[in-house]
Structure 1
Amino acid sequence: MISFVWAEDQKHQIGYKGHLPWRLPADLAHFKEVTMGHPMVMGKKTFDSFPGLLPRRQHIVLTHDTNLEEKYKNNPQVEIMNSIDELTSWLDENQFQEVSVIGGAMLFNLLLNKVDKLYKTEILSEFNGDTVMPTINYDEFKLVSKKIGKVDEKNKYPYVFLEYERK
């Protein structure tokens, strides 16, 4: 099963200059919860945005960067894929319980027809951004969970956790 895991603002922005445009610790905790124990598929820019490797998750990175391939060739926590065909074959061959696609926009767009589950954090504010989430046809999905997040001193923006499954 393939899931998308992302947060977006009211303008569907998901990134700005290689990072999240907001600080929302509750969303980071939610991200950790839904990706823990699953392989995470991402592009190089998403991978580069991490402070380091995330524990107890395999990092599958789609990139043509041979330096990255060389750097992680002996690290079982990181697997480098050089093409969407290679990634698609890997996804088809490895029948994981769940694989979390976490960005960026190009990867979400490439796998839009394969996704089974959506974990969306909707941030009810607008931010400066340079990366927009591709359009998803929500008619193809059923909302199975909606949880309103708590605004507090650490989480200053209203937000909602939404979970959808393909019909």
Structure 2
Amino acid sequence: MTKITMIAAAAENNALGKDNNLLWHLPDDFKRFKKLTTGHKIIMGRKTFESFPKPLPNRIHIIITRDKNYRVDHEDCLIVHSLEAALKLVQEDDLAFIIGGGEIYKQGEPHADAIELTRVHASFENADTFFPEIDTEIWMLSEGEYHAIDERHKFGFTYLTFVRKSEK
């Protein structure tokens, strides 16, 4: 059975980004994302995929789009037209990640077994994309690791790992 983990960085008000860009730069969070997702399939919406300068190395990208003519000429990219189709492509894997954006997180949450959330300690009122509210009736915090502001990080942040309380 595949473990599905949603992974995101979201502000205190659940802001994810604006105009298909992140609202912060956290190098340690990028390193953690790379460490956790490398070698696994990553499920994302088309806009999230298009926010990357190029496909991320050592990961199979499963891109969800309604556009039946959408194509990506890269061997590590698969195009599907629903979350259900994306989940079928990972059913033989031990672990796969849902990496965004906001609508894909909403659709994916009922299928997820865990959430790896980097909580950015700030609020961004100008955001146009948000992470879903985490329901503590469904999710239990299992780990947390705080990182203070430093010369490379303008915002403090905390890595939070949530696990589903009961079976899906």
Same fold (TM over 0.5): yes
Higher mean alpha-carbon deviation, 149-158 vs 47-56, is at 149-158
Q: What is the count of residue pairs matched by the alignment? A: 162
Higher mean alpha-carbon deviation, 48-57 vs 75-84, is at 75-84
Aligned-residue CA RMSD (Å): 1.5
Identity %: 30
Residue 66 of structure 1 deviates from its aligned partner by 4.5
Matches within 5 A, 1:102-121: 102-121=99-118
Partner of 1:140: 138
Residue 146 of structure 1 deviates from its aligned partner by 0.7
Three-state SS of the structure 2 residue aligned to 1:111 is helix
Q: Structure 2 CA distance, aligned partners of 1:154 and 1:108? A: 28
Partner of 2:95: 98
- Answer yes or no: is the 8 Å Cα contact 1:112–1:136 preserved in 2: no
Partner of 1:6: 8
Q: Structure 1 CA distance, aligned partners of 2:84 and 2:6? A: 19
Matches within 5 A, 1:5-154: 5-69=7-71, 71-72=72-73, 75-91=74-90, 94-127=91-124, 128-154=126-152
Q: Structure 1 CA distance, aligned partners of 2:17 and 2:6? A: 15
Q: Structure 2 CA distance, aligned partners of 1:27 and 1:60? A: 22
Unaligned runs of 5+ in 1: none
Residue 67 of structure 1 deviates from its aligned partner by 5.0
Amino acid across the alignment from 1:6: A
Taking structure 2 as the reference length, the TM-score comes to 0.89
Instruction: Kindly report structure 1 stretches of 4+ aligned residues shifted beyond 4 Å.
Output: none
Unaligned runs of 5+ in 2: none
